[in-house]
Amino acid sequence: MNHHKGELVQETSFLTPQAKTEILKALTFLESFEDELDGLIEISAPNPYVKMSAYLVRRHLEAKVVTPTSLIGASGVPYATATRRLRKMIDDGLVEQRPRTSSGRSFSLHPSAEMLEAWTQFSGRMRRLAAQAFGSDAPRADTQDYYFAGSYLEAQTIQPPQVLLEPLKLSGGLRVLVHGDPTFMVMHGLKRQFEQVVGCPIQQRAFSIDRLHEEAVKNAQRTTSRYDLIALDLPWVGEFAAKGYLHPIDAVLDVERLSPSDFHTAGWMAAHWDKRPFGVPSQTTPELLFYRKDLLAEAGLEPPHTTDALLEAAEELHEPTKGRYGIAWNAARGTALGHTFMMACADFGQPVLDLAKQAGGYDASRLAQEDYRPTIDTERGLLAAEYLMALLRYSPPDILSMAWYERVRPFANGKVAMAYGYTLLAPYFEQNPACAAFGKVGYLPHPSGCKAPNIAPVGGYLLCIPANIAPDRLEAATEALIVFTSPEAQKLYVENGSRTNPRYSVGADPEVRRLSPIFEAVDSMSWHDELQFWPRPPIPEINDIIRICGEECHDMLRGVQSPKAALQAAQNRADRILREAGKL
């Protein structure tokens, strides 16, 4: 862990959910144990350092504000004594002070990286000591391998969003630009309820992915933004941040108010550019392999974890004379197929840029500070292209025009046995009892080739604040951003049909988990470090590179050029884009 104070917000925001749960368990145990001791012996002498540290860390993990007065009150010792102890903790670098107002006269208190690291280590030691003293440390069957299934949170349910104490003051109401996908349509359906929450009208405009990008860029050119919040596809964050189109989130609010450690790590990291968050995850929706459990079982096939196994299963289940095809995927020209090619490269362990290797794959977090070059025309890139050619043999006849929703509809109605799809598309078959796939779908990360690790490429959208928003609307837009990305709002989206979720706490909610197996599956993938955002690295030029790959690969699938020629053409065009940007 980096202990440099200047990096505090960045570093502590990546405290893993498992560590967070362990610390909360330790704090809960200590509080209960202290109560028992107080009942055993009436004479007691509290340790103000421990009591203040425990109070501060718990409030930090629960995203609640701590003031000097409240922390002193938690110490259990006289005011003067507690004040001296607090000053000592600040001087020793255990407690950080952050201004709450521009004047700097009021500030909140936060545990430093050192304090959080100390509690992380302590909670682990306490668990091991308890296991040695009292028995096995084996997890319960229903909580194994699950981040937030600890005793502190496992029985808790998230309550509905509460009405703001003061309504948002926005002339004409809150204006939001979004993508026209099922999750944002759920938000639109809840418009009246959220208008009650924020206290003002809400106007939402929805576009297809390419038109959304076009409108967001056009909006950035305006003198004053037409929107208070805009939704951006994860790979766009580098472009919009580097060009100054967005307010950095840490410049408009205390990031701890968002409880950043509650977000799926890959989704939260993907919101950053140059080490700063420029949006808040509104959807974290990995692309998975959907497969019909019943059809694979009838054919005596295991769920495919490798690309070879997937092709074998697709061939076995491909029966076009009976109106059933092996697999559906994004193969429409341009953006749709470009995404597919990049993810196929990742399935073979190949990023489309020369990223540095790290645990879990590749490091896409330093792209603002480093030069990079495309790595499309490579040996593994060729394997990915040939894999797409092989998929073509077991796909529906209209596969080359299939994009986004078109690939999942035939899967839902039983015409396709398997499909690559984002979790946001699951409502098409999870909420329609009349469809052939209802109740029969399994979920896997992408099958891999060349012994590469299985990953689930992370997609989804960030809610962002335009840099050119009218200054008198900024504060209210910030509060709306917090509301719409809160656990309470996210749970409400799920209850009304969404199958995307950026937060661990929502996926752990027992009421949410009963609604769909997809939440437990995705959280398990995150636990195993399979959720990754590097397959679509968020450089400013990524949208052009996606389009280029989608155009050249489409010509390849149509038989106009060979896989090798398609890769060479895409590499040359991508190189040209980066040369013009001064990256080569």
The full length of the chain comes to 584
Q: Is 392's pLDDT higher than 50?
A: yes
For residue 295, what pLDDT is reported?
Answer: 97
Which residues does 103 contact at the CB level (< 8 Å), separation at least 6?
none
pLDDT band of residue 409 (cuts 50, 70, 90) is very high
How much is the pLDDT for 247? 98
213 and 290 assigned to the same domain: no
pLDDT band at 361 (very low <50, low <70, confident <90, very high): confident
- Find the mean pLDDT for residues 384-413: 96
Q: Do residue 424 and residue 560 come from a single domain?
A: yes
Reported for 427-433, long-range contacts at CB under 8 A and 24+ positions apart, including other chains, are: 427/182, 427/497, 427/498, 427/499, 429/290, 430/499, 430/516, 430/518, 431/497
pLDDT of res. 216: 97
* 315, 394 Cβ separation under 8 angstroms: yes
Question: pLDDT value at position 182?
Answer: 87
Are residues 428 and 573 part of one domain? yes
Whether residue 315 is found in the same domain as residue 193: no
User: 537 Cβ partners below 8 Å, 6+ apart?
Assistant: 235, 238, 351, 352, 353, 355, 364, 367, 372
pLDDT band at 43 (very low <50, low <70, confident <90, very high): low
Q: What is the helix (H) or strand (E) element at residue 334, kind and residue range?
A: none
- Within a domain: residue 207? yes
Dihedral-angle region of residue 529 (phi above 0 means left; psi in -120 to 50 means alpha; beta otherwise): left
At 478, phi and psi to the nearest 5? Answer: -65, -45
DSSP strands (E only) in 38-183: 95-99, 107-111, 174-179
346/422 same-domain check: yes
Q: Are residues 275 and 391 in the same domain?
A: no
Contact 296, 302 (CB under 8 A): yes
Residue 127 and residue 119: Cα distance in Å, rounded?
12
H helix runs in 375-470, sequence order? 379-392, 409-412, 427-430
- 434 phi/psi in degrees, rounded to 5: -85, -15
153 in any annotated domain: no
Provide the pLDDT for residue 538: 95
Residue 237 in domain: yes
E strand or H helix at 333: none
On average, the pLDDT of the chain sits at 88
Segment among 142-151, 483-492, 511-520, 521-530 with least mean pLDDT: 142-151
Kindly state whether residue 380 falls inside one of the protein's structural domains: yes
Domain ranges, residue 256? 174-284+458-514
Please check whether residue 382 lies inside any domain of the structure. Answer: yes
Looking at the fold, whether 440 and 469 belong to one and the same domain comes out as: no
Q: 446 and 356 in one domain?
A: yes
The alpha carbon of 244 is separated from its chain's Cα centroid by a whole number of angstroms, namely 23
pTM > 0.85? no
User: What is the structure's pLDDT at 4?
Assistant: 38
Lowest-confidence range among 18-22, 180-184, 234-238, 310-314?
18-22
What whole-number distance in Å separates Cα of residue 462 and Cα of residue 494? 17
Q: Over range 367-396, report the average pLDDT.
A: 96
Q: What percent of the chain stands above pLDDT 90?
A: 66
Residues 42 and 83 in one domain: yes
Q: Are residues 336 and 438 located together in one domain of the fold? A: yes
**Where residue 279 sits, what CATH number does that domain have?**
3.40.190.10
Mean pLDDT value across residues 563-573: 98
| pLDDT over threshold 50, residue 316 | yes
Tokens at 402, concatenated: 């299939």
Q: What is the pLDDT of residue 528?
A: 85
Is position 157 within any domain?
A: no
How many domains is the chain built from? 3
- pLDDT for the residue 6: 36
- Long-range Cβ pairs for the range 155-158 (8 Å, 24+): 155/510, 156/509, 157/509, 157/510, 157/511, 158/487, 158/488, 158/491, 158/505, 158/506, 158/509, 158/512
Is the pLDDT at 20 greater than 80? The verdict is no
Q: Cα–Cα distance between 262 and 225 in angstroms, integer? A: 30
Look at residues 422, 421, 346 and name the one whose alpha carbon lies nearest to residue 387.
Answer: 346
Q: Classify residue 469: in a domain, yes or no.
A: yes
* 213/117 same-domain check: no
Residue 16 has pLDDT above 70, yes or no: no
- 148: in domain: no
Q: What is the pLDDT of residue 13?
A: 38
Q: Would the pLDDT of 5 be above 50?
A: no
Are 307 and 371 within one domain? yes
Where does a domain end: 138, 164, 190? Answer: 138
Residue 93 belongs to domain with CATH number: 1.10.10.10
Q: Mean per-residue pLDDT for 91-116? A: 80
pLDDT beyond 70 at 288: yes
